[in-house]
């Protein structure tokens, strides 16, 4: 294993060893009849709060409390570590109280969405890197409008011929709005290819100027396709947080309720 | 193709962190200025012209196309107005809104649920076990309310799985005695004793790694304190069919002195298991099997263990079958008794050294018991107990008399016997006289009140205080054993024909002297001292001119004073008077029987010439008349006897229990004496020959508990020993090769008198050498391994040791 690879997984080792240590430690404490559920519950709630601080950190970027990348790294590792603590806390069996089941489901929702988000954050940038130009998400409608206008300019320049008819009948919807599609995840560009094939099939009916415009339109279709791809992927990159963050808020509330009830029915520590 | 120009002149600065964005952005363009913070549109035109000199100039930015060709209007307004938009929320703000409404929704659900009457159903951490199902959703049945919880330090809180207070609620149904909250329900002293014993075991293996790591923790962290909460082991809310008794083997060992990996790997040898104590019934397996059971006799049906042992209904233990099944075939006759061993002497007139007693006034006494025949006949332990326990309920100053009599017995024991008072001093002689009068009074009461005389004395304060309780009617009935008054009256008539007169005269004298009427034991010395205190007439108390007792004179004196026998005026104790007046001496069998040599102060009775052999013959006849058990009197030794009915004789059982209780609870000498007497009665048929007597020290080593084991081992209801073994589960293993003796291997007896050594001469049940070899650990571990029959701690061990019961509760 090369030094680079070792370095890349260096943090994983540390966190893996830490997680293993926690599991072993809890196992030993459980053997010794110590109330591990209280200990793991407090630890888990503390960890969830620290994970939620990542969101606060984003709102106060001016504070000298480490880099965003560092926070993200901490957020990811702690999130994964919380899974270990959660497993330790609930034990082998599944919870069977209404509140506890709800709490577990919400927690699993948060973790799942987080893992999905993590996966998307790793995978999508690589996919977008193959889309040519980098695009700012908020500018996509502007760029889309710009492309549409450019295409409409081509039609205007060719007059009311076959090219214009073809554009109106088949190309307008493509440029009209963002073509969000799950097919982007599978690199499936059948829609674009069909459009291009139809355009190319019409070449024999086009005049010289129209053929030149058709070639230009092909380029615009490629660009629009990539723009749609950006819109879809970046939409997912931002969209998973619509699940992750609200569920986190709900999780914190339910955890607090659970903790208060556990506290009321357990001996007081202070 | 390049879509974007990122130069500052052509690229707008995006602000996605703002709450509102221009409504036109959806259409592919947006104004430069954007909406206000409150979400209203503030755009009016593409620029705000500025005036330089007298002209207005366009200020549109390069990124928006630079200054327009039209330029500002003459009034200074922009010539390109922006149509107003409906600003929209930014993506970030929309996410915040979703989060907000999620919080509202969560809180709303919680606030709807928690105050709901059955809200506990929803916040409960899970179903409780079906056995606790009656509690429903009433949390307070198992949990103290928040305010009732006792604050505990963090470490303590972590080290206890549940509040001790909550555990107290568990104990309201699950009752484990005074040590219910303690480890193993044992007192610290008992645990220390076990710990000390285990520490002394040599060759203990090193603990497994996990336990070694835990041993590094401070004691307070892993070792439970003296009080252990129930929830430490029993985890509730795990579902209706969860296993509340689930326990990891290593958890069991965390606190233990000896820690090991498994039953086959490190578990100590079983030591003396299962023969930790001797059997309740003294039984020498070796002598019985070798001498009797293995005989080739067609009538011998004791060929196998199950001839005498059977499986209990719980499938757990093997019990010893009943006497009639196991023992009666050989031992019935000796329990009925043969000859002198057949009967117990309940009452017997002692032989008295009248020569040494000299001038002392004891009244009439049988000539044959005057002490010159060397009979050495003493009073029986039954009599001593009854004399010492004379009821104080009906007798004034009884306590004084009791203490006097008890002291008298002690004094007499130290300096001689009633039959040998030659070397006795004046104090001993006075004590002897008091005892003799007490005996006569006892006989008088027995002959006039019958069983009631025994019952009254046994219900007295002395027995009650000695036992710490009052004897019940059932016990008293068994102790009186249907003693017929006729037997007593016949005996009294035969031995003391004028006992009634004697007693009355003595009481009269006491009455006049102001003393207790029943205090018949006043010595002449006391009389002499108190003569001046009452109207003393020597003739009334039978005193002649020389100061000696003279019955004729006493009777004459009584007649002259018109205090005739049976006269009401001499009775100050109504109860006694009623007894005497209401009961006439019946002419039952033997009532007019001749008595050999009965002499009342030198005056022989009419039947003085009867042959002693004939008297003995008649005694035997009387004994034969109660061959299935009962009372009779014997004139040859002046006694009243009880003939035992055989095994489970009620009289022997009741008196042994009484003697045992009196001697063990109060160390009463008369109780001990009676117990010893009963233990040595009946020879080989003695109850205590088989039914062992256990002495056990209590936790403080101060008192001991003495128990007669009337039955063989029985599972005590609601009692859990430290280990359990299911014989029934192992019966399927029995074959020709594997028999009972595969586990219970007989040990060659080292002692010749095994029963005598370990039972008759020993009262410590734990001091014992069994007939069997202890079961070797390998016998069990052959099968009981991790992957075969299992080796969990709880397979053989119980956590809760001692009494345990569950009180059921209503819903």
The alpha carbons of chain B give a radius of gyration, in whole angstroms, of 48
Question: What distance in Å separates residue A8's CA from the closest CA in chain B?
Answer: 32
Q: Are residues A82 and A162 in the same domain?
A: no
The alpha carbons of chain A give a radius of gyration, in whole angstroms, of 27
Q: Are residues A226 and A171 in the same domain?
A: yes
**Residues facing residue B599 across a β-bridge:** B604
Quote the CA–CA distance of B691 and B653 in Å, as a whole number. 11
Quote the CA–CA distance of A19 and B671 in Å, as a whole number. 72
Q: Would A123 be classed as within a structural domain?
A: no
Q: Would A174 be classed as within a structural domain?
A: yes
Q: Would A107 be classed as within a structural domain?
A: no
Quote the CA–CA distance of A209 and B573 in Å, as a whole number. 153
Pairwise CB contact (< 8 Å): A141 & B28? yes
Contact residues on chain A for B27, CB-CB shorter than 8 A = 141, 145
Q: Which of B105, B121, B238 sits opposite A93 (nearest CB)?
A: B238
Q: Would B236 be classed as within a structural domain?
A: yes
Q: Would B537 be classed as within a structural domain?
A: yes
Q: For residue A232, is it left (φ>0), alpha (ψ between -120 and 50) or beta?
A: alpha
Q: What is the mean pLDDT of residues B276-282?
A: 91
Interacting residues of B413 by C-beta distance below 8 A, sequence separation 6+: none
Sign of the Cα pseudo-torsion (B175, B181, B183, B188, in order): negative
Of A4-18, B100-114, B632-646, minimum mean pLDDT range: A4-18
Q: Which of A145, A265, A268 sits opposite B29 (nearest CB)?
A: A145
Which chain A residue is nearest to residue B98, measuring alpha carbons? A246
Q: Are residues B396 and B520 in the same domain?
A: yes
Q: Are residues A219 and A252 in the same domain?
A: no
Domain final residue, candidates B246, B262, B285: B246
- Report CA B200 to chain centroid distance, whole Å: 30
Question: What distance in Å separates residue A135's CA from the closest CA in chain B?
Answer: 8
Interface of A with B in 62-91 (CB under 8 A): none
Give pLDDT tens digits for B312-348.
888 888 999 999 888 888 888 888 776 666 788 999 9
Q: Which of B95, B139, B222 sits opposite A242 (nearest CB)?
A: B95
* Amino acid A56: pLDDT: 85
Highest mean predicted confidence (pLDDT) among A10-24, B28-42, B774-788: B774-788
- A109's enclosing H/E stretch is helix A98-129
User: Is residue A266 less than 8 Å (CB to CB) from chain B?
Assistant: yes
Closest CA to B678 of B277, B345, B255: B345
Q: Would B317 be classed as within a structural domain?
A: no
Pairwise CB contact (< 8 Å): A145 & B221? no
Q: Which two tokens stand for residue B490?
A: 């016949």
Q: Are residues A190 and A251 in the same domain?
A: no
A145, HSE (Cβ side, Cα atoms, 13 Å): 12
Q: Are residues A232 and A258 in the same domain?
A: no
Q: Would A105 be classed as within a structural domain?
A: no
The helix/strand/coil state of B455 is helix
* Amino acid B279: pLDDT: 92
* Amino acid B492: pLDDT: 92
User: Is residue A231 less than 8 Å (CB to CB) from chain B?
Assistant: no
Q: Are B389 and B463 in contact (CB under 8 A)?
A: yes
Give pLDDT tens digits for A218-233.
999 999 999 999 999 9
b/e burial code for range B598-612 (CB count within 10 A of at least 16 → b): bbbbeeebeeeebee
Sequence-distant contacts of A191-197: CB under 8 A, at least 24 apart: A192/A221, A192/A222, A192/A225, A195/A170, A195/A171, A195/A221, A196/A221
3-state secondary structure B144-184: CCHHHCCCCCHHHHHHCCCCHHHHHHHHCCEECCCCCCEHH
Q: Are residues A26 and A88 in the same domain?
A: yes
Highest mean predicted confidence (pLDDT) among B567-581, B692-706, B726-740: B726-740
Quote the CA–CA distance of B582 and B578 in Å, as a whole number. 6
Q: Which of B3, B102, B159 sits opposite A246 (nearest CB)?
A: B102
Question: What distance in Å separates residue A174's CA from the closest CA in chain B?
Answer: 15
Contact residues on chain B for A220, CB-CB shorter than 8 A = 1
Q: Which of B28, B127, B150 sits opposite A96 (nearest CB)?
A: B127
Quote the CA–CA distance of A39 and A46 in Å, as a whole number. 11
Q: Are residues A54 and A145 in the same domain?
A: no
Q: Are residues B239 and B368 in the same domain?
A: no
User: Is residue A219 less than 8 Å (CB to CB) from chain B?
Assistant: yes
Residue with the larger pLDDT of the pair B279 and A268 = B279
Residue with the larger pLDDT of the pair B89 and A270 = B89
Contact residues on chain A for B256, CB-CB shorter than 8 A = none
Domain of B583, in residue numbers: 339-662
- Report CA A170 to chain centroid distance, whole Å: 33
Question: What distance in Å separates residue A2's CA from the closest CA in chain B?
Answer: 36
Interface mutation vs chain A, best among B4, B125, B142, most A CBs within 10 Å: B125
Highest mean predicted confidence (pLDDT) among A68-82, A237-251, B174-188: A237-251
Q: Would A102 be classed as within a structural domain?
A: no
DSSP designation for B317: -
Q: Are residues B242 and B348 in the same domain?
A: no
Pairwise CB contact (< 8 Å): A39 & B158? yes
Contact residues on chain A for B21, CB-CB shorter than 8 A = 138
Domain final residue, candidates B645, B662, B679: B662
Q: Would B479 be classed as within a structural domain?
A: yes
Closest CA to B349 of B415, B460, B427, B446: B446
Number of domains making up chain A: 2
Quote the CA–CA distance of B392 and B400 in Å, as a whole number. 10
Of B28-37, B160-169, B525-534, minimum mean pLDDT range: B525-534
Pairwise CB contact (< 8 Å): A139 & B14? yes
Q: Are B767 and B774 in contact (CB under 8 A)?
A: no
Q: Which two tokens stand for residue B563?
A: 């205090």
Q: Would A173 be classed as within a structural domain?
A: yes
Neighbouring CB atoms inside 10 A of B265's CB total: 13
The mean predicted confidence, pLDDT, of chain B is 78
Quote the CA–CA distance of B135 and B809 in Å, as a whole number. 9
Torsion of CA B106, B107, B109, B115, to 10 degrees: 150
Domain final residue, candidates B220, B246, B272: B246
The helix/strand/coil state of B345 is strand
Q: Are residues A189 and A166 in the same domain?
A: yes
Q: Are residues A156 and A89 in the same domain?
A: no
Contact residues on chain B for A148, CB-CB shorter than 8 A = 28
* Amino acid B347: pLDDT: 93
Q: Would A82 be classed as within a structural domain?
A: yes
Using 50, 70 and 90 to split pLDDT, how confident is the model at A253? very high
Q: Which two tokens stand for residue B16?
A: 């996605």
Q: Are B267 and B777 in contact (CB under 8 A)?
A: yes
Q: Would B43 be classed as within a structural domain?
A: no
Class of residue B530 by CB neighbours under 10 A (exposed 0-12, middle 13-18, buried 19+): middle
Q: Please work out, in degrees rounded to the nearest 5, the angle formed at the alpha carbon of residue B96 by the alpha carbons of B94 and B100.
A: 115
Question: What distance in Å separates residue B4's CA from the closest CA in chain A?
Answer: 8
Number of domains making up chain B: 2
Domain of A141, in residue numbers: 137-237
Using 50, 70 and 90 to split pLDDT, how confident is the model at B287? confident
Pairwise CB contact (< 8 Å): A246 & B98? yes
Q: Would A192 be classed as within a structural domain?
A: yes
Residue with the larger pLDDT of the pair B107 and B543 = B107
Question: So what's the ipTM on this one?
Answer: 0.90
* Amino acid B595: pLDDT: 41
């Amino acid at each position: 294993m090369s030094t680079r690879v070792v370095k890349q997984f260096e943090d994983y080792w540390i966190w893996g060893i830490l997680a293993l240590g926690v599991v072993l430690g809890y196992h030993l404490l459980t053997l010794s009849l110590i109330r591990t559920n209280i200990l793991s519950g407090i630890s888990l709630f503390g960890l969830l709060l620290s994970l939620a601080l990542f969101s606060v950190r984003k709102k106060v970027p001016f504070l000298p409390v480490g880099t965003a990348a560092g926070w993200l790294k901490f957020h990811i590792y702690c999130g994964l570590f919380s899974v270990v603590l959660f497993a330790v806390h609930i034990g082998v069996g599944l919870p069977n109280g209404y509140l506890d089941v709800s709490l577990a489901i919400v927690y699993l929702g948060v973790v799942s969405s987080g893992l999905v988000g993590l996966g998307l954050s790793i995978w999508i940038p690589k996919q977008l890197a193959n889309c040519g130009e980098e695009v700012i998400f908020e500018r996509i409608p502007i760029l889309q409008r710009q492309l549409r206008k450019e295409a409409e300019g081509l039609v205007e320049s060719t007059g009311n011929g076959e090219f214009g008819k073809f554009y109106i009948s088949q190309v307008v919807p493509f440029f009209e709005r963002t073509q969000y599609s799950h097919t982007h995840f599978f690199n499936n560009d059948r829609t674009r290819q069909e459009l291009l094939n139809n355009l190319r099939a019409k070449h024999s009916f086009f005049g010289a100027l129209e053929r030149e415009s058709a070639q230009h339109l092909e380029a615009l279709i490629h660009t629009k396709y990539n723009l749609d791809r950006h819109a879809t992927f970046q939409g997912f990159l931002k969209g998973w947080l619509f699940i992750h963050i609200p569920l986190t808020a709900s999780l914190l509330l339910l955890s607090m309720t659970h903790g208060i009830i556990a506290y009321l029915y357990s001996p007081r520590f202070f | 193709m390049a879509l974007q120009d990122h130069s500052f002149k052509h690229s707008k600065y995006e602000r996605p962190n703002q709450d509102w964005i221009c409504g036109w952005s959806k259409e592919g363009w947006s104004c430069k200025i954007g909406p206000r913070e409150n979400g209203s549109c503030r755009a009016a035109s593409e620029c705000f012209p500025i005036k330089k000199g007298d002209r207005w100039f366009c200020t549109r930015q390069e990124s928006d196309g630079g200054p327009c060709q039209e330029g500002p209007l003459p009034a200074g307004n922009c010539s390109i107005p922006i149509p107003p938009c409906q600003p929209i929320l930014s993506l970030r703000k929309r996410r915040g809104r979703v989060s907000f409404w999620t919080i509202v929704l969560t809180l709303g659900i919680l606030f709807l649920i928690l105050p709901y009457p059955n809200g506990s159903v929803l916040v409960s951490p899970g179903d409780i076990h079906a056995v606790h199902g009656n509690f429903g959703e009433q949390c307070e049945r198992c949990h103290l309310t928040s305010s009732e919880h006792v604050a505990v330090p963090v470490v303590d809180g972590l080290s206890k799985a549940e509040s001790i207070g909550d555990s107290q609620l568990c104990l309201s149904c699950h009752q484990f005695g005074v040590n219910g909250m303690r480890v193993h329900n044992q007192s610290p002293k008992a645990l220390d004793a076990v710990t000390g014993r285990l520490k002394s075991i040599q060759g203990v293996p090193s603990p497994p790694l996990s336990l070694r790591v835990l041993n590094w923790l401070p004691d307070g962290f892993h070792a439970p304190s003296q009080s252990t909460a129930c929830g430490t082991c029993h985890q509730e809310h795990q579902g209706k069919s969860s296993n509340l008794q689930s326990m990891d083997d290593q958890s069991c060992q965390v606190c233990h002195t000896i820690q090991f990996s498994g039953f086959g790997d490190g578990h100590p040898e079983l030591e003396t298991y299962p023969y930790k104590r001797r059997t309740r019934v003294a039984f020498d397996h070796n002598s019985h099997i070798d001498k009797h059971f293995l005989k080739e006799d067609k009538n011998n049906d004791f060929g196998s263990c199950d001839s005498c042992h059977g499986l209990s209904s719980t499938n757990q233990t093997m019990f010893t079958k009943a006497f009639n099944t196991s023992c009666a075939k050989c031992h019935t006759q000796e329990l009925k008794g043969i000859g002198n061993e057949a009967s117990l002497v309940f009452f017997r007139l002692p032989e008295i050294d009248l020569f040494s007693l000299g001038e002392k006034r004891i009244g009439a006494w049988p000539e044959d018991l005057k002490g010159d025949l060397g009979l050495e006949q003493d009073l029986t332990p039954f009599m001593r107990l009854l004399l010492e326990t004379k009821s104080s309920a009906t007798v004034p100053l009884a306590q004084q008399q009791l203490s006097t009599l008890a002291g008298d017995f002690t004094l007499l024991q130290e300096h001689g016997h009633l039959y040998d008072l030659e070397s006795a001093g004046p104090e001993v002689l006075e004590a002897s006289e008091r005892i003799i009068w007490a005996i006569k009074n006892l006989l008088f009461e027995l002959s006039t009140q019958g069983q009631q005389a025994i019952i009254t004395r046994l219900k007295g304060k002395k027995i009650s205080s000695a036992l710490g309780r009052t004897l019940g009617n059932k016990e008293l009935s068994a102790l009186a054993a249907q003693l017929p008054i006729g037997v007593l009256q016949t005996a009294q008539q035969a031995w003391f024909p004028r006992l009634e007169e004697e007693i009355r005269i003595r009481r009269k004298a006491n009455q006049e002297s102001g003393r207790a009427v029943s205090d018949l034991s006043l010595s002449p010395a006391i009389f002499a001292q108190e003569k001046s205190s009452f109207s003393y007439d020597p003739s009334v108390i039978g005193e002649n001119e020389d100061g000696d007792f003279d019955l004729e004179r006493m009777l004459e004196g009584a007649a002259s004073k018109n205090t005739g026998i049976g006269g009401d005026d001499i009775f100050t104790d109504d109860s006694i008077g009623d007894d005497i007046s209401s009961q006439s001496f019946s002419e039952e069998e033997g009532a007019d029987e001749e008595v050999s040599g009965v002499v009342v102060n030198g005056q022989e009775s009419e039947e003085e010439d009867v042959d002693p052999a004939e008297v003995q013959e008649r005694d035997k006849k009387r004994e034969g008349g109660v061959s299935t058990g009962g009372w009779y009197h014997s004139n040859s030794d002046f006694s009243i006897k009880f003939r035992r009915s055989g095994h489970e004789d009620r009289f022997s059982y009741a008196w042994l229990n009484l003697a045992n209780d009196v001697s063990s609870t109060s160390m009463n000498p008369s109780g001990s004496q009676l117990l010893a007497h009963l233990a040595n009665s009946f020879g080989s048929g003695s109850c205590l020959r088989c039914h062992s007597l256990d002495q056990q020290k209590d936790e403080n080593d101060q008192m001991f508990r003495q128990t007669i084991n009337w039955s063989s081992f029985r599972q005590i209801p609601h009692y859990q020993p430290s280990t359990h073994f299911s014989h029934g589960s192992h019966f399927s293993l029995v074959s020709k090769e594997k028999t009972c003796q595969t586990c219970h291997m007989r040990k060659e007896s080292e002692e010749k008198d095994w029963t005598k050594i370990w039972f008759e001469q020993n009262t410590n049940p734990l001091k014992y050498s069994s007939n069997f070899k202890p079961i070797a650990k390998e016998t069990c571990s052959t099968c009981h391994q991790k992957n075969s029959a299992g080796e969990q701690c709880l397979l053989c061990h119980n956590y809760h040791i001692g009494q345990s019961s569950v009180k059921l509760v209503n819903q």
